[in-house]
């Protein structure tokens, strides 16, 4: 029997991790439609019709197609309200959205994606030769395409890398300040904001660069509480891809002193 909910996603993608967290927090059954991003499966014509930016994730709910992870998570919370993953008051919900909107304003594309590509994923593209170059040319957004080209070519020496570290450290400081007043990012209970930001610490963990959180200890404490929730095992750990992880950890460790030097000089 076909399940109503299906998710086009990728095992290691941050944007997919945050939707899987919400699916599991809500105890929903969903069908996995996994796309191999390094084989360009998300750039095929049939998928771009569902998701014009050629990115994962995309949720399918019966005949309904919903792209964009922040939009998907709010959609899931309205469609399946129990347990609620939004604060009960209007200001709390505004606070939650002040967090999530930042992801589409630079934290994702210019922040964590640049960090990940500069340290690790560029090696996957370079190893693919011609097909890696073709994948780069198929990125629909010209700003994202040119930034990625620069980061693949120059790695940690790309100017985008320093800016990514600056933006991410700013984010972790903001999170640290918010967590001084309340247990979860938007208030007294776990919300879509906590799910949305979890991948932005998971990525540091996977790259073995958790030292970037040394001056924001409340973020590290929040991450430990997130890891203790059952959804973390289902949505993150169960999907860990060992070949990605091996590359990420090795490159993160080899580059740590340079990364730390760039962070310290900011
Ligand atoms: N704003 C989008 C961003 C999605 C996105 O950038 N997804 C990444 C993985 S985290 C992707 O599919 N990248 C493929 C590529 O850049 O070619 C969302 O939140 O869904």
**Which CATH number characterizes residue 66's domain?**
3.40.30.10
Residue nearest atom 11 of ligand 1, based on CA coordinates: 55
Q: How many domains, the chain? A: 2
- Domain end, chosen from 79, 104, 129, is at 79
The pLDDT value recorded for residue 2 is: 47
Helices (H), 138-216: 142-154, 159-181, 192-197, 199-206
Long-range contacts of range 97-104, CB-CB < 8 Å, 24 or more positions apart?
A: 99/185, 99/186, 99/193, 99/196, 99/197, 100/70, 100/73, 100/192, 100/193, 100/196, 101/70, 102/171, 103/69, 103/70, 103/196, 103/197, 103/200, 104/68, 104/70
Question: Cα of 9 to ligand 1 centre, how many Å?
Answer: 10
pLDDT tens figures, 125-176: 999 999 999 999 999 999 999 999 999 999 999 999 999 999 999 999 999 9
Task: Report angle CA 101, 102, 107 to the nearest 5 degrees.
Answer: 140
Question: Cα of 68 to ligand 1 centre, how many Å?
Answer: 8
Rg of the Cα trace of the chain? 18
Say if residue 218 is in the same domain as residue 178.
yes
pLDDT tens figures, 75-93: 999 999 999 999 999 999 9
The pLDDT value recorded for residue 1 is: 42
Domain that residue 182 falls in: 90-119+156-265
Question: Cα of 265 to ligand 1 centre, how many Å?
Answer: 30
Q: Is 76 in the pocket of ligand 1 (CB under 6 A)?
A: no
Say if residue 53 is in the same domain as residue 103.
no
- Specify the ligand 1 atom closest to the Cα of 139: 17
Q: Is 15 in the pocket of ligand 1 (CB under 6 A)?
A: yes
- Pairing assessment for the beta strands 58-61 and 31-34 based on DSSP bridges: unpaired
Mutate to test the pocket of ligand 1, among 51, 71, 108 (most ligand atoms within 8 A of CB): 108
Question: Cα of 89 to ligand 1 centre, how many Å?
Answer: 30
In a domain, 147, yes or no: no
In a domain, 141, yes or no: no
In a domain, 146, yes or no: no
pLDDT tens figures, 224-254: 999 999 999 999 999 999 999 999 999 999 9
Q: Is 196 in the pocket of ligand 1 (CB under 6 A)?
A: no
- pTM attached to this predicted model: 0.97
In a domain, 230, yes or no: yes
Structure tokens at 244: 């990605």
Q: Is the pLDDT of residue 3 over 70?
A: no
Say if residue 13 is in the same domain as residue 55.
yes
Say if residue 186 is in the same domain as residue 244.
yes
Bond preceding residue 83 cis, omega within 30 of 0: yes
Question: Cα of 50 to ligand 1 centre, how many Å?
Answer: 14
pLDDT tens figures, 114-129: 999 999 999 999 999 9
Q: Is 96 in the pocket of ligand 1 (CB under 6 A)?
A: no
In a domain, 240, yes or no: yes
Say if residue 71 is in the same domain as residue 97.
no
Q: Is the pLDDT of residue 265 over 60?
A: yes
Q: Is 13 in the pocket of ligand 1 (CB under 6 A)?
A: yes
Say if residue 74 is in the same domain as residue 192.
no
In a domain, 211, yes or no: yes
pLDDT tens figures, 197-228: 999 999 999 999 999 999 999 999 999 999 99
Residue nearest atom 15 of ligand 1, based on CA coordinates: 55
């Amino acid at each position: 029997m076909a399940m109503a909910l299906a998710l086009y996603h990728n095992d290691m993608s941050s944007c997919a991790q945050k939707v899987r967290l919400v699916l599991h927090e809500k105890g929903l059954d969903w069908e996995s439609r996994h796309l191999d991003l390094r084989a360009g499966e998300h750039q095929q014509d049939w998928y771009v019709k569902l998701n014009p930016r050629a990115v994962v994730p995309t949720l399918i709910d019966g005949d309904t197609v919903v792209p964009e992870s922040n939009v998907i998570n709010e959609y899931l919370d309205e469609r399946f309200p129990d347990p609620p993953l939004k604060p009960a008051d209007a200001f709390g919900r505004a606070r939650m959205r002040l967090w999530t909107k930042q992801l589409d304003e630079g934290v994702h594309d210019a922040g964590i994606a640049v960090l990940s590509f500069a340290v690790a994923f560029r090696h996957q593209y370079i190893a693919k030769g011609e097909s890696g170059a073709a994948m780069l040319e198929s990125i629909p957004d010209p700003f994202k395409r040119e930034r990625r080209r620069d980061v693949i070519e120059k790695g940690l020496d790309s100017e985008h890398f320093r800016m990514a570290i600056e933006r991410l450290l700013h984010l972790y400081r903001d999170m640290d300040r918010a967590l001084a007043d309340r247990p979860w990012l938007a208030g007294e209970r776990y919300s879509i904001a906590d799910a949305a930001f979890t991948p932005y610490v998971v990525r540091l963990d996977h790259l073995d660069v958790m030292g970037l959180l040394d001056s924001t200890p409340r973020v590290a404490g929040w991450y430990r509480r997130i890891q203790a929730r059952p959804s973390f095992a289902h949505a993150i750990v169960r999907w860990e891809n060992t070949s990605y992880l091996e590359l990420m950890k090795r490159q993160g460790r080899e580059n740590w002193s340079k990364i730390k030097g760039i962070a310290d000089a900011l």
